[in-house]
Amino acid sequence: MQYIKHYSSPIGVLEIIANDDFLTHVLFREAQKKPSRQLEETLENSPIIDECIRQFEAYFDKKLRDFDLPLQTQGTDFQRNVWEYLKTIPYGKTISYLEFSRRIGNEKAIRAVGTANGNNPLTIILPCHRVIGSDGSLVGYGGDLWRKEWLLRHEGSLPNQAQLGLF
Instruction: Exactly one of 26, 86, 124, 128 is catalytic; name it.
Output: 128
Q: How far apart are CA 155 and CA 34, in angstroms?
A: 24
> Is 52 an annotated catalytic residue?
no
What single string gives the DSSP state of each residue in 27-55? EETTSSS--SSPPPPPSS--HHHHHHHHH
Query: Which of 78, 77, 93 has the alpha carbon at shortest distance from 127?
Result: 93
Question: How are beta strands 23-28 and 95-96 bridged, if at all?
Answer: unpaired
Q: Amino acid identity, residue 65? A: R
Q: Which residues are catalytically annotated?
A: 128
